[in-house]
Amino acid sequence: MKYTKEDALKEIRRRAGIIRQKRERRTTKILTTTACLTLVALFAVISVFSGSKVYATPSVYGAFILSTETGGFILAAVLGFVLGVVITLLVKHSKKKNSNKKQSDL
For the cut 90, the answer to whether the pLDDT of residue 15 exceeds it is yes
Poorest-confidence range of 1-15, 21-35, 55-69, 87-101? 55-69
In the chain, DSSP finds a helix count (H) and a strand count (E) of 2, 0
Q: What is the pLDDT of residues 40-97, one digit of tens each?
A: 887 787 777 666 555 555 555 555 555 666 666 777 778 888 888 888 888 888 888 8
Q: What angle do CA 71, 77, 83 make, to 5 degrees?
A: 135
- Does 21 score more than 60 pLDDT? yes
CB contact burial 93-106 (16+ within 10 A = b; e otherwise): ebeeeeeeeeeeee
